[in-house]
């Protein structure tokens, strides 16, 4: 009997799979590749909300886990995944500069915001008010991670590529049977696909579509991440990832002309050199209105669990949330009330309503 069936192999599914394996558990991942937000993500990790210069929730703890987690995966998969790069926030006024330095004096932000004004002049970028540098930033190559981790799962016979059939799941008090597979527990890490899951579809997942561009810009010569109204991430060989848009209405993975035009317009406001668009990506991020993940155990079926709602910060959140869920299941360590699905009163009441 397996310890875990894990449904989904995006960032959340990979993180839980890896935590389980590191703790000697047996797993089977079921994946149908219907959700691609992890595949096309910018992969950026950044501990500061740069619109208002405030700390990302539990950023320090998440970063400490992030470095160990992706470092171990690099060694395991023998592939470079984590690119630690400075992130420079372009200032648009003296007022923004002042707000930055005021924020950098706060104890919870001093680790992340440099107090040195970055006056470097970059090719093709006008910056009369200069930049502020975010420390502890970079990006993870999520597409490469997903590709190599799935190859690894294939090599240990721990993945099935198929659409999960909820009707085929038999739930018993201390085990589950899915088709011909017997397991102690199942973790649903389905991203936006959770809305089709009859056990967790009542949770308030509110997907946000994001679109990005892959461009080639030979004259840009950037070796740092630039953040203005959009971000530009250097990938090497004159390639850059540019994003991202936010659409709360469209729930498809189809790239749109409107988003492309929006990104091109903002890019032309930021850089003044020629560029070529090589690709255009779209995906639906699994976001939640209260901006906290959805983690926990089904109110009635104690062997059904959920790991979802990582939103726009999946790279940072995935290792921490996977650890929290695993420790709750295996070691009875309570989940932080901010992430526990028991905070969703309407969800709980739907099971106990007479």
Report how far residue 7's alpha carbon sits from residue 30's, in angstroms, rounded to the nearest whole number. 5
What pLDDT is attached to residue 176? 97
The CATH code for residues 2-40+143-204+289-352 is 3.50.50.60
Q: What is the per-residue pLDDT for 354?
A: 38
33 pLDDT tier (thresholds 50, 70, 90): confident
Q: Strand 294-297 and strand 48-49: pairing?
A: unpaired
CB 108 within 8 A of CB 63: no
User: From the CB of residue 58, how many other CB atoms can be counted at a distance below 10 Å?
Assistant: 16
Query: What does the pLDDT average to over 191-195?
Result: 93
Cα distances from 352 to residues 139, 172, 204, 299, in angstroms, run 43, 20, 18, 9
Per the listing, tokens 């035009």 go with: 261
Q: What is the pLDDT of residues 3-24, one digit of tens each?
A: 999 999 999 999 999 999 999 9
CATH code that applies to domain 84-136+207-285: 3.30.9.10
Q: What percent of the chain has pLDDT over 70?
A: 98
Query: How does residue 100 score in pLDDT terms, banded at 50, 70 and 90?
Result: very high
pTM for the full model?
A: 0.94
Decide if pLDDT at 144 tops 60.
Answer: yes
Q: What are phi and psi of 262, to 5 degrees?
A: -60, -45
The confidence band for 52, taking pLDDT boundaries of 50, 70 and 90, is: confident
Which residues lie closer than 8 Å to 331 by C-beta, 6 or more apart?
none
- Domain extents for the chain? 2-40+143-204+289-352, 84-136+207-285
Does residue 353 carry a pLDDT above 60?
Answer: no
The tokens describing 169, both together, are 């799941």
Query: What pLDDT does residue 212 have?
Result: 96
Q: Is it the case that residue 333 has pLDDT exceeding 80?
A: yes
Identify the residue with better confidence: 108 or 225. Answer: 225
Average pLDDT over residues 322-329: 98
Query: Using CA atoms, how far apart are residues 19 and 25, in angstroms rounded to an integer?
Result: 9
Q: What is the mean pLDDT of residues 60-64?
A: 92
Q: Do domains 2-40+143-204+289-352 and 84-136+207-285 have the same CATH topology?
A: no
User: Are the C-beta atoms of residues 170 and 157 closer than 8 Å to each other?
Assistant: no
CA distances from 168 to 16, 100, 164 (A): 23, 54, 8
- Is the pLDDT score of 42 beyond 90? no
Scanning the structure block, which residue is given the tokens 């009997």? Answer: 1
Exposure of 109 in the CB half-sphere (CA atoms within 13 A): 21
C-alpha to C-alpha distance for 259 and 210, rounded to whole angstroms: 9
Pairing of strands 176-178, 181-188: antiparallel
Mean pLDDT of 159-173: 96
Q: Left if phi > 0, otherwise alpha if psi is -120 to 50, otherwise beta: which for 181?
A: beta
pLDDT tens for 285-320 read 999 988 899 999 999 999 999 999 999 899 999 999
b/e per residue 261-298 (b: at least 16 CB within 10 A)? ebbeebbeebbeeebeeeebbbbbbbbbeeebbbbbbb
pLDDT grade for 348, boundaries at 50, 70 and 90: low
**Averaged pLDDT of the chain:** 93
Q: What is the pLDDT of residues 216-243, one digit of tens each?
A: 999 999 999 999 999 999 999 999 999 9
% of the chain at pLDDT higher than 90: 89
* Calculated CA dihedral for residues 267, 11, 47, 116, nearest 10 degrees: -60
Residue 206 has pLDDT above 60, yes or no: yes
Mean pLDDT of 95-101: 94
């Amino acid at each position: 009997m397996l310890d875990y069936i894990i449904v989904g192999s995006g960032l959340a599914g990979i993180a839980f799979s890896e935590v389980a394996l590191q703790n000697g558990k047996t797993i089977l991942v079921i994946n149908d590749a219907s959700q691609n937000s992890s595949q096309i993500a910018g992969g950026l990790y950044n501990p500061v909300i740069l619109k208002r210069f405030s700390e990302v929730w539990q950023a320090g703890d998440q970063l400490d886990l992030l470095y160990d987690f992706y470092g171990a995966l690099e060694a395991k998969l023998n592939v470079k995944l984590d690119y630690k790069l400075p992130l420079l926030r372009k200032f648009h006024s003296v007022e923004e500069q002042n707000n930055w330095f005021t924020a950098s004096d706060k104890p919870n932000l001093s680790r992340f915001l440099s107090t040195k004004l970055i006056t470097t002049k970059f090719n093709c970028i006008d910056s009369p008010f200069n930049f502020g540098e975010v420390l502890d930033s970079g990006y993870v190559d999520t597409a490469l991670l997903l590709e190599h981790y799935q190859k690894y799962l294939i090599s240990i016979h721990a993945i099935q590529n198929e659409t999960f059939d909820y009707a085929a799941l038999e739930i018993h008090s201390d085990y589950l049977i899915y088709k011909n597979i017997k397991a102690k527990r199942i973790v649903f890490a389905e991203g936006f696909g959770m809305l089709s899951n009859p056990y967790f579809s009542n949770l308030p997942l509110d997907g946000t579509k994001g679109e990005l561009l892959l461009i080639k810009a030979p004259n840009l010569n950037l070796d740092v991440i630039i953040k203005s109204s959009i971000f530009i991430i250097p990938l090497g060989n004159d390639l850059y990832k540019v994003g991202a848009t936010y659409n709360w209405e469209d729930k498809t993975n189809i790239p749109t002309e409107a988003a492309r035009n929006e990104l091109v317009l903002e890019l032309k406001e930021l850089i003044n050199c020629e560029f070529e668009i090589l690709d255009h990506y779209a995906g639906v991020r699994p976001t939640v209105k209260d901006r906290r993940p959805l983690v926990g155990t089904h109110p009635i079926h104690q062997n059904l669990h959920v790991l979802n709602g990582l939103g726009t910060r999946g790279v940072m959140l995935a290792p921490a949330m996977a650890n929290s869920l695993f420790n709750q299941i295996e070691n009875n360590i309570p989940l932080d009330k901010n992430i526990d699905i028991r905070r969703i009163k309407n969800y709980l009441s739907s099971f106990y309503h007479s």
